[in-house]
A and B are shown apart, each in its own frame.
Chain A
């Protein structure tokens, strides 16, 4: 497999009056061609910021301050805003969580999709509208030609998310980044959208990055999963390895605290004590150490690096000195 996107040592800081606060601290991440990668983590772990930083969509005051992100032979982090604008939509498509705030409320659906097409391919308006109709059909919107004339408020939440997907796909991107695209949707509609993106990924041969906090959802979607905690990748492995042989204490804790449709009702769920560190208040060494049952003194000494897990899948890497046996070697 060839790497489509290769992120190395990415750091992101928030500018605060009191000085910069680090939110992403040295992320290494690879997305292969045609692969479906899940990025999992809780609020504030930096999963969305990491992806937004690649295409220059970080909010004011938040900046990528280090690292590289190779995509198609160029470093995304060094590109000018002008180059990035060309890339967005054409090479890298986005779907966001809330379609109501991403769509322009006073612009017809068809015009919004056509706008993306005209900008990226320079096609004429009538041709763009025809193509917009085809895209709506592709994402499963009933009577797509009529829907071109609709405004966003005339559509349901699920239909609006389908329109967002159509816009995300307009430039035939090689990488589609889906940032919690189903969080605002009901479970039966979520299932429809998930089926749709999965089917489109295969049909269009794109790589898809799913950003989510929902472990159960990602289990059926991703080929590989990266677990983020406090701005670092703590574990990276094929999906079945993550669920069957999780290695990092945080991954294990997350999976353990998840109620499932097969567990013992009314039992107390194993929960992880405490809360994730706030940006700028990162503990020294492993960021998870203060909440970790396995933590030893060495954990707070240095930030652990992602290393291969002995005896597991060769692609299974974890940032923990205890579960990889490095602590014994050091002792």
Chain B
């Protein structure tokens, strides 16, 4: 196994909600709580979970696009969480992001060539003379011909725009790319093209991905390790194969069970999660999943379960799970 590229310790993000004439703090949204994990060089580390679970916030806090409220993000021996904009600048080149909707992240008045030249010139990675050759190579990397350099975003299809967004992230020769729902808005046939592209680029440039997504089949397809998040906390973290073969956290199990299968004969009687995700404004005490968990006991309501390693590399935050093979408790009948 390679060395960690980024070490994340107890990362926290709280959004304060201010109300009233003097902007008193009325409440805080606990978007991310005690996120601890290493991102290994060359791997695809995926975060999954439902809306509001904090997966995107994690990506933003790692890149310091949102300032963490606590915790550390160690990259090349430096804690990124303590840096201001100027301090971050030398690191920005290495750490890039691709968003869900390339239409709203590309400047509509800039040609694709201009959009791609900007980061290259800003970071001094090529001279004006070298630029055209560089753009051609960059476009070729993402499967576009150099004719695209003179086009505007509105002339491109969704898949082509996402290729440009990836090219823009690649322009400054990064080591780490956060893919924040980067393929979620694409049609199935185009989604497969972009997934293949991401895999090819990773191989070619030894990239490390933090892949944020809600489509579990996609995540299983491209990940080395997967973290499952629920209401701002990691519920389970495991090698992709182990997570999908032997999910241990009751939430992971429910989540996997809810994924529709492209098979008309698949069993339709599945485990259904009752209720909905509680508000992060006022998260449940103890284990945040206890309000919907079929196994929940008093302990779960009182104490936060630690993220424990129950098998090599397989960590679970659940009082009921103490080994990789057994769940200690029977479901509580309501």
The segment from B68-76, B125-133, B253-261, B280-288 found at the interface with A is: B253-261
Total interface residues in chain A, CB < 8 Å:
44
Q: Are A187 and B255 in contact (CB under 8 A)?
A: yes
B residues in contact with A43, CB < 8 Å? 158, 187
Known: A260-B261, A261-B216, A269-B195. A189 touches B276 (CB 8 A): yes
Q: Are B263 and A270 in contact (CB under 8 A)?
A: no
Q: Are A219 and B266 in contact (CB under 8 A)?
A: yes
Residue of B160, B200, B217, B265 near A216 (CB, 8 A) is B217
Q: Are A265 and B193 in contact (CB under 8 A)?
A: no
Q: Are A266 and B199 in contact (CB under 8 A)?
A: yes
B residues sitting closer than 8 Å to A (CB atoms) are 50-51, 157-160, 187-193, 195-196, 199-200, 214-218, 220-223, 240-241, 244, 254-266, 268, 270, 272-273, 276-277
Q: Are B189 and A254 in contact (CB under 8 A)?
A: yes
| B contacts with A: majority SS | helix
Residue of A190, A239, A265, A272 near B220 (CB, 8 A) is A265
Known: A261-B259, A265-B222. A188 touches B50 (CB 8 A): yes
A residues in contact with B215, CB < 8 Å? 259
Q: Are B259 and A268 in contact (CB under 8 A)?
A: no
Q: Are A257 and B221 in contact (CB under 8 A)?
A: no
Q: Which of A240, A253, A261, A273 has the most CB of B within 10 A?
A: A261
B residues in contact with A127, CB < 8 Å? none
Q: Are B260 and A268 in contact (CB under 8 A)?
A: no
B residues in contact with A186, CB < 8 Å? 50-51, 214, 277
A residues sitting closer than 8 Å to B (CB atoms) are 42-43, 156-159, 186-192, 194-195, 213-217, 219-220, 239-240, 243, 253-255, 257-261, 263, 265-273, 275
Q: Are A156 and B188 in contact (CB under 8 A)?
A: no
Q: Are B255 and A188 in contact (CB under 8 A)?
A: yes
27 contacting pairs across A/B (C-beta < 8 A): A186-B50, A186-B277, A187-B50, A187-B214, A188-B50, A190-B260, A192-B272, A192-B273, A194-B260, A215-B262, A216-B259, A217-B260, A219-B262, A220-B264, A220-B268, A243-B262, A243-B264, A257-B188, A257-B192, A259-B218, A261-B216, A261-B256, A263-B221, A265-B223, A271-B189, A271-B190, A271-B193
Known: A156-B276, A187-B259, A188-B255. A213 touches B157 (CB 8 A): no
Q: Are A269 and B260 in contact (CB under 8 A)?
A: no
Give the number of residue pairs across the A-B interface with Cβ within 8 Å: 128
Q: Are A187 and B216 in contact (CB under 8 A)?
A: yes
6 additional A-B residue pairs with CB within 8 Å, beyond A191-B270, A191-B272:
A156-B276, A215-B262, A220-B260, A259-B218, A265-B220, A275-B159
**In the complex, what's the smallest C-beta–C-beta distance from B102 to chain A, in angstroms?**
14
Q: Are A158 and B262 in contact (CB under 8 A)?
A: no
A residues in contact with B222, CB < 8 Å? 265-266
Nearest A residue to B51, CB-CB: A186
Q: Are A254 and B188 in contact (CB under 8 A)?
A: yes
**In the complex, what's the smallest C-beta–C-beta distance from A64 to chain B, in angstroms?**
25
Q: Are A260 and B217 in contact (CB under 8 A)?
A: yes
Q: Are B221 and A190 in contact (CB under 8 A)?
A: no
In the assembled complex, the Cα of A243 lies from the Cα of B218 at a distance in Å of 19
B residues in contact with A275, CB < 8 Å? 157, 159-160, 190
In the assembled complex, the Cα of A266 lies from the Cα of B200 at a distance in Å of 10
The 6 closest A-B pairs by CB, nearest first: A257-B192, A271-B192, A186-B50, A42-B187, A259-B221, A191-B258
Q: Are B221 and A265 in contact (CB under 8 A)?
A: yes
**In the complex, what's the smallest C-beta–C-beta distance from B135 to chain A, in angstroms?**
22
Residue of B189, B191, B220, B262 near A253 (CB, 8 A) is B189
In the assembled complex, the Cα of A191 lies from the Cα of B244 at a distance in Å of 19
**In the complex, what's the smallest C-beta–C-beta distance from B220 to chain A, in angstroms?**
6
Q: Are A240 and B265 in contact (CB under 8 A)?
A: yes
Q: Are A240 and B264 in contact (CB under 8 A)?
A: yes
A residues in contact with B260, CB < 8 Å? 190-191, 194, 214, 216-217, 219-220
In the assembled complex, the Cα of A233 lies from the Cα of B158 at a distance in Å of 23
B residues in contact with A270, CB < 8 Å? 192
Q: Which of A188, A214, A220 has the most CB of B within 10 A?
A: A188
B residues in contact with A268, CB < 8 Å? 196, 199-200
Q: Are B188 and A219 in contact (CB under 8 A)?
A: no
**In the complex, what's the smallest C-beta–C-beta distance from A157 to chain B, in angstroms?**
8
B residues in contact with A42, CB < 8 Å? 187-190
B residues in contact with A260, CB < 8 Å? 217, 261-262
Q: Are A188 and B221 in contact (CB under 8 A)?
A: no
